Amino acid sequence: MKAFRGRMAPALASLLLPAGMVCVTSAYAETSLFAPANYTAWIDLRLSQTNGERGWLDGGFGKLRHGNEMAADIAQAAILWKPQLTDTFSGYVLLQGVSDAEVPVGVEEAYLQWKPVPKSAFRYGLRLGQMFPPVSMEHDGTGWTTPRSLTPSAINSWIGEEVLVRGLEVNAQQTFAGHRLGLTLGGFTRDDTAGTLLSWRGWALHDMASAENTRLKLPEGEDQGWYRIFDDNQAPVSKPMVELDGRLGYYARLDWRPPAPVAVNLEIYDNQGDPMALRNGQWGWATRFYNLGLAWRLTTKDEWLSQYMTGQTATGWPLGQGHRVVDTGFESAYLLVSHRCDNGARLTGRVDYFAVKDHSRRAVDDNSETGYSATLAWMKPVNEYLDLGAEALHVVSDRPARQTQGLEAKQNQTQFQIALKWHL
């Protein structure tokens, strides 16, 4: 009997121990806040050479991250923390440092996400917090970065600078006869100044994404439309993350993935801003846009991405005929083709078109513009710790407001960039 008991104990132990280990492992798997897998960090070092006019970051009308300079920057140093609260409930916080930004350190996206494990083709989830609405088709890299090029399109550069919201987003997808349909609905606060830069500076192409405390510089000088209309009521910097009117904005997106190598999405965004709201030099802008996105898998190694955006934005008092003192329509489109080489590198070409139409007070505040750009980028992941990138970008644009800074309305600019991205 004793011998029997003696044999049973290890037998029991050997049965219970793995069970206990399974419990421990699954408990660990469920909640993991500060494990190494919850962190990602990188530093993107950038060398650039740009000719032409002064950049918008320096108060000019330049369309790129730099203008008329050679520069070395920390394009982005980031720590991405993704705590796992349960198996299906997680957090996301990106803290970034950008050496050439007006406010260098800030929290970009920060949200809670719930994603139940699908039990059928139907799936759903939600996000709550500070985030970019799902407009960009280019920002599918880790931490809302662009894996195909260094500089995103004009459309998605603008999303990155002026369309950061704080809200609740729900999404659901289902398959019907081989067609995958998705619906995303978002309600948000903040983002009441969206449209400020797009009107007074115009479209731009750069990869600086906004954070909660970001300030974006407007073109300098007392001859600027914004100063001639609003005087000291408008600050010389725009803050994209302010709430001015207490109104809720919304966005809605439809996704369609037919049984073919294409995916289509259509989105409407409206911040329902009050154009008469004014606080601390920040005006409310009533901004609405529509975005159409198309992805097409040409071959297993080649893809085509396109977006078209059209919208309008207005601020200030009404002038009659449905227009306000600052009132613009904007549109942009790009065609991008990306090829994945056998060595893992990506070669991408993109052509952008962008335009702003000004509907009011053009004599004192002409915000109209048209422009085109061509981008060629080569991105190469060298190993687990290092990515290399090189890019050439040429932009041509016509913006009469440049004359307020003594420049020709028509300008062109070429920028070369080399990126070394270290993953820590």
Partner 1 sequence: MKYVFPVLAVLLFASAAAATAADLAVTVNNASGRPVAFAVVTWTPAGGAAIPAAEKGRAFVMAQKNVQFSPYVLAVPAGATVAFPNMDRVNHHVYSFSPAQPFQFPLYGKGKSRTMKFDHPGSVALGCNIHDSMSAYIRVVDTPYYATTGADGRVTLSVPEGAGSLAVWHPNQETPERQTAKNMTVGKANAVQTFSIKVRQVAPTAGQY
Binding residues vs partner 1 (CB under 8 A): 3, 25-26, 29-30, 32, 35-37, 40, 84, 87-88, 115, 117-121, 134, 136-141, 144, 180, 257-263, 265, 293, 295-297, 303, 305, 384
Find, among 136, 109, 142, the residue nearest to 387 by Cα. Answer: 142
Between 136 and 367, CB nearer to partner 1:
136
CB of 128 to partner 1, least distance (A): 17
CB of 377 to partner 1, least distance (A): 15
Task: Determine whether 364 is exposed, middle or buried from the number of CB atoms within 10 Å of its CB (0-12, 13-18, 19+).
Answer: middle
Between 221 and 258, CB nearer to partner 1:
258
Q: Do residues 45 and 419 lie in contact, with contact meaning Cβ atoms separated by under 8 Å?
A: yes
CB of 423 to partner 1, least distance (A): 9
CB of 23 to partner 1, least distance (A): 12
CB of 241 to partner 1, least distance (A): 21
Between 361 and 421, CB nearer to partner 1:
421
The Cα–Cα gap between 416 and 64 comes to 11
The Cα–Cα gap between 372 and 225 comes to 24
Helix (H, G, I), strand (E, B) or coil at 328: strand
The Cα–Cα gap between 298 and 301 comes to 8
CB of 106 to partner 1, least distance (A): 20
Residue 127 CB partners (closer than 8 Å, separation 6+): 111, 112, 113, 114, 168, 169
Between 104 and 259, CB nearer to partner 1:
259
Between 36 and 406, CB nearer to partner 1:
36
Total number of residues shown for the chain: 424
- Partners of 180 in beta bridges: 175, 257
Give the number of other Cβ atoms within 10 Å of residue 360's Cβ: 20
Residue 180 CB partners (closer than 8 Å, separation 6+): 173, 174, 255, 256, 257, 258
Between 42 and 56, CB nearer to partner 1:
42
CB of 400 to partner 1, least distance (A): 35
Between 265 and 411, CB nearer to partner 1:
265
Give the number of other Cβ atoms within 10 Å of residue 311's Cβ: 20
